Structure 1
Amino acid sequence: MTNPEHSHPRRAHIAMFSIAAHGHVNPSLEIIRELVARGHRVTYAIPHLFQEKIAETGAEPVLYRTTLPGPDDDPEAWGTTLLDNVEPFLDDAIQALPQLIDAYEGEGGAGVPDLVLHDITSYPAAVLAHRWGVPAISLSPNLVAWEGYEEEVAEPMWAEPRQTPRGRAYFGKFTAWLTEHGVRKTADEFGSRPDRSLVLIPKALQPNADRVDEKTYTFVGACQGDRSAQGDWERPAGAERVLLVSLGSSFTKQPGFYRACAEAFRALPGWHVVLQVGRHVTADDLGELPGNVEVRQWVPQLAVLKKADAFITHAGAGGSQEGLATATPMVAVPQAVDQFGNADMLQALGVARHVPMEEATAGNLRAAVLALVDDPEVARRLAAIRREMAGEGGTRQAADLIEAELPAA
């Protein structure tokens, strides 16, 4: 239940937009729940796979059809190159926009909102905010651009793809779509330079945090709430130390990696290993496993981490900040996109080791975990970061800042 001092003087219609991906929906859920508790009407545009999860927050799901690969699809559906990764978002946005216009403006629709919230992957949201003349706030579940980001990161990364016919076609298509809808931004500006953004990661995970424009970006940190509905996890009797292994929800088709993790701690005295393997791998795929290894498709990750001694992670934003919030030493084995930067940040903070996937052998993983859990300096640094995170405000701070952007009645 919300504190009356946080109630906004008027009930507003706030529209949230996201895609069907756990890593992009989950960070916003507690903010949405808080806004509903403060008396606002919140609609949430989302594909049908997440309808129930959104409804549980008290928001009204506004459903649209998506062409993006879903969380149950084979990770290989995303391709391997930079253009493979970004083209689907633009194509999905182009086909989703007319659906969303009708869902909000059409007869019996949700109605034009007072303010738009959106995940960074929801391109139609900012176009709709422009169309409706209402404020838009980006909710970023991972790192954001800093002053100099374009020159240091974006330009080198895009230099080669931009020279290809496919790359030129992509940017031409993006620019034409924005121009058609009256948005006067380049494709680069549209993707990395929002007018206003709340950053849902701890500032400790942000590269070059001292060069981030604080007029645009506000770090509110992890917006976590009561997760008891997800269930609990108990440390088995006799387990002196617990290791959680998880590659998140998307890049989990890695049976060889899971076998290496199991082998690393085979019969190691006192250790219990929890392998979360996702939907694309089964225990049968892993062969004969030692008795101290527990294989699960899914676990209540935060509940496990509260009782774990170490975490082998893909270094997604969600997992990284949960590791920091529970002061759990991490071995980061990144798989894609921002995870490589997160792995480097965690290592630079002195609370993790970055082990590239090609070097993730049983021996290397075991050595990295044991070195971290036996190092008192790692424990000291994790405790200090956890204290810093507690002061970033989280869910209530995010809701306060969103209400501050609502137009006057």
Structure 2
Amino acid sequence: MSKVLFMNMPAHGHINPTLGLVEELIGRGEEVTYLTGEEFREKIEKTGAKFKSFRFYLDDKDEDTDTSASEVPYEVKEAVKMLERVVKTCQSVFEVVFSGEEKYDYVIYDSMFIIGAEIGKALNVPTICSHTTLVNAFEAPSNPEGLECFMGEFEHVLNSIKEMEETYGIRFPDVISGYPVAEGMLNLVYTSRYFHPVVKGIDDSYKFIGISVADRKEKMAFPFEKIADKKVIYISLGTIFNDSIEFYESCFEAFKDMDVKVVMSIGNRIDIGAFKSIPDNFIVLPYVPQLEVLKQTDIFITHGGPNSVNEALYNNVPMILVPQYADQFAVAYRVEELGAGINIEKDKVNANLLKEAVTRVLSDKSFKVNSEKIGDSLKDAGGVSIGADEILEFVSSCCEE
């Protein structure tokens, strides 16, 4: 039995794909400690893993302090604040990992967990990177124009970084140039090689294991009887950029007269009472059991988050994609490229476009056929069983060396 440290971003799209793998490793006798945000304690502990938390400052703008001179450009001020939040988050992680006496045999970390590899080096253990999105899906970062003239604004943060490097014996990633994406000695990618686009940088250390499907043990009541024997449209913009009342109103207008049942998940940032009128053929809820709903869905309107797209394709569901930010654009493009959905720019969304897209997908069987082809490739990749095989074989080979 090995002791494993799993480090992840506190976000549903980064954590949900890993739950099945964690359960699989524990089932094979590994002892897993999972480090992420406190709000995910219950979900992690249900897998059987030991939970530890750190403070995630990247979304905590309330504690920002503006010490810059008035003539400093806004973009530079924002870059300073972001770097301050990154450093405070990393400091919180270091305090948890290095303050205890617990020893680990290897570490697994999310590709956006930029200090994962350095922590592995400091602990002198093998490192495994968990890629919950497409590899190299982000555009190359660029500095705010004229940043070199304002490096003095970063001095206090760079001093904090230097102090951490000396204290913990790590080399801090270059966060001045942007938000770096990490990789490990072994890299697990939660999709199939067929679905993943051809990009630079993928070598034999990258293993495509397909989707990790696990029972999230979510206790959500849902009226499944209301969507039985109906064409079902499921709509969700995920858990972050999901507060566009205008988008939801466009959906109401687009589908109110169609002979379909529409399930709409809106999150907790909008009060359902804010809507003027909800059509009779809509079920609108803050959250729904997505995995179960997708099993009865004919078309999924989504933000293009990698996890949501994987779950839809695993269930052979074609999509209308309205990407909001970051890697969602690359994911949406790939779905459309392989003929499993239609991509709509978020700034161009309206009721007519949505209705036309849904009508086209429902009437053209190729979208369903192509989604099934991708779904089969995800299933054939092996999932968490293959993922655990790759991890244990890799760790064993490291021990032999």
TM over 0.5: yes
Give secondary structure in 1 for the equivalent of 2:134: coil
Q: Report what 2:125 is aligned to.
A: 134
Is 1:205–1:342's contact at 8 Å kept on the other side of the alignment? no
Partner of 1:7: none
How do 1:103-122 and structure 2 match up within 5 A?
A: 103-106=96-99, 109=100, 111-122=102-113
When structure 1 is superposed on structure 2, of 237-246 and 323-332 the one drifting more is 237-246
Give the counterpart of 1:300 among 285, 289, 306.
289
The structure-2 alpha-carbon separation of the partners of 1:92 and 1:28, relative to structure 1 and needing over 3 Å to count, comes to: farther
Change (3 A) 1:175 1:130: farther
1:95 paired with 2:88, answer yes
Q: Is residue 138–residue 194 contact of structure 1 (8 Å, CA) maintained in 2?
A: yes
Structure-2 residue corresponding to 1:371: 360
For residues 218 and 311 of structure 1, the distance between their equivalents in structure 2, rounded to whole angstroms, comes to: 28
User: How far 1:317 sits from its partner (Å)?
Assistant: 0.2
Which of 232, 237, 251 is equivalent to 1:247?
237
Determine which of 183, 186, 201 is the counterpart of 2:171.
183
* SS of equivalent to 2:144: helix
Shift of 1:206: 2.3
TM normalised by structure 1 equals: 0.83
43-52 or 228-237, larger mean C-alpha shift: 228-237
Match of 1:191, SS? Answer: coil
What is the CA–CA distance in structure 2 between the aligned matches of 1:195 and 1:317, rounded to whole Å?
A: 23
Which of 10, 21, 32 aligns to 2:11? It is: 21
Query: Matched residues in 2 for 1:204 and 1:102: separation?
Result: 41
1:21-63 CA-to-partner distances (Å, cap 9, x unmatched) read: 1111111111111111111111111221111111111111112
Task: Confirm or deny: 8 A CA contact 1:93 1:124 kept in the other structure.
Answer: no
Give 2:279's aligned amino acid.
P
Of all paired residues, the percent bearing the same amino acid is 26
Cα displacement (A) at 1:119: 1.0
C-alpha distance 88-296 of structure 1, shift in aligned 2 (>3 A): farther
**Residue number in structure 2 paired with 1:164:** 147
CA contact (8 A) 2:117 2:182 kept: no
Establish whether residue 396 from structure 1 lines up as the match of residue 389 from structure 2: no
Once the two structures are superposed, the pairs formed by residues 264-343 of structure 1 within 5 Å of their partners are 264-268=254-258, 270-343=259-332
RMSD: 3.2
Shift of 1:123: 2.6
| Partner residue in 2 for 1:5 | none
Q: CA deviation at 1:371?
A: 0.3
Say whether residues 1:45 and 2:35 are aligned partners: yes
Q: Runs of 5+ in structure 2 lacking a partner? A: 63-73
1:130 deviates by 1.4
The CA distance in 1 between the partners of 2:149 and 2:386, in whole Å, is 42
Q: What per-residue deviation string (whole Å, max 9, x for no partner) do you get for residues 264-321 of structure 1?
A: 01122x2111111011112211211210011100001111111011110000001111
The structure 2 residue matched to 1:224, chosen from 207, 213, 231, is 213
* Conserved? CA contact 1:143–1:205, under 8 Å: no
Contact 1:233 1:300 in 2 (8 A): no
Counterpart-to-counterpart distance in 1, 2:76 and 2:183: 20
Question: Which residue does 1:12 correspond to in 2?
Answer: 2
Letter in 2 for 1:386: G
Q: Distance in 2 between matches of 1:185 and 1:289?
A: 49
Alignment CA distance shift 1:87-1:325 (3 Å): farther
Q: Are positions 1:387 and 2:376 aligned together?
A: yes
- Output aligned runs, 1:54-65, within 5 Å: 54-65=44-55
The TM-score normalised by the length of structure 2 is 0.84
1:358 aligns with 2:347: yes
- Secondary structure at the residue paired with 1:139? strand
**Shift in alpha-carbon separation, 1:184–1:66, aligned structure 2, 3 A:** closer
Q: How much has 1:145 moved relative to structure 2?
A: 2.8
Q: What displacement does 1:381 show?
A: 1.4
Identify the match of residue 213 of structure 1 among 195, 202, 208: 202
Counterpart code for 1:164? L
Is residue 2:196 matched to residue 1:203?
no
1:171-210 deviations in whole A, cap 9, x for unaligned? Answer: 994995596544386557963554331111233442225x
Helix, strand or coil: the match of 1:197? strand
Equivalent-residue separation in structure 2 for 1:299 and 1:166 (angstroms): 50
